[in-house]
Amino acid sequence: MNADPKSTSIMTDGMLVTCRIRQGNLWRLCAGGTLLLAVLASLAAAAVPSRAQDMPSSPSFVDDFKSFDRTRWFVSDGWTNGKHQNCTWSKGLVGLSDGMLTLGFEKRKLKDREFACGEIQTRKRFGYGVYEARMKTDTGSGLNAAFFSYIGPADKQPWDEIDFEVLTRDTSKVQVNTYISGKPKNEKLADVEGGTDKGFNDYGFVWEKDRLRFYVNGKLVQEVTNPAELPTHPQKIFFSLWGSDTLTNWMGPFSDPGRKVTMQVDRVAFTALGQPCQFPESLACSIK
């Protein structure tokens, strides 16, 4: 499950890129000139994160799920996240339908669980920036439909996490939350006008070095500025739909829905800090 180590790329203008990539005698051509100095400066800047980011990160992207990019996404399959989870991750419950990602939850015995469920995660890790997803949930007590970022012991890192979780027993709200070194912080229930199950809603968070902001349909619903409650490690992006028999105080008592429950994702995007917004509806276009 570990992502490949991040490789730093250099941002240069067209002339520098052409010279650097296509000319085998770059250093001879550039030696003694201003172009060499520019290349050396770019190499030096690439050796450490930029001041705006101050954290390693994979590049910005937008995925509208017109197709499934297996170079971007890893599909969880054949295990659970612990005793609290009453379903086994199954690649058979991850698919594309009507141009959208669909995750499912259904009664199907897999290994030692009576139910099967779906999850995907990025192969790469992302740092400071704007994270956003447009999605629609189903209903059902004891189920959790989530869009979040996470890194932890499986990747030989401390447990940091930033969450949007819809506990589908109550689709009028979404829970925002963070984990710092495995400890929950900043939990809050935010209203979702019209409900998470009646239509698609936009969920986004803006992660900066000195603050973290959560948005629902473009409205700010939570802001964190306490340095001790801000994640500090690059994370993978996840979508998951799962159930629990034991977390009743949080997710409600589980009952077999008697049907396949689904979660649909229309779009997901990450925009690195300082980069232009990537589509007109993006949160990155309107916030400071």
Active site residues: 161, 165
Query: Helix (H, G, I), strand (E, B), or coil: what is residue 22?
Result: helix
C-alpha distance from residue 34 to each of 10, 21, 29, 31, 41 (Å):
17, 18, 11, 8, 11
Nearest to 240 by CA among 107, 150, 131, 158: 150
- Count each helix (H run) and each strand (E run) in the chain, helices first: 4, 16
- Strands (E) across the chain are located at 61-63, 73-75, 87-89, 94-97, 100-110, 113-122, 129-136, 143-151, 160-167, 173-180, 183-191, 201-207, 212-216, 219-224, 236-243, 261-272
Q: Quote the distance between the C-alpha of residue 153 and its chain's center.
A: 18
Return the structure tokens found at 210: 């000195």
Give phi and psi for 15, each to the nearest 5.
-65, -40
Return the structure tokens found at 7: 């490789």
Beta strands 94-97; 236-243: pairing state: unpaired
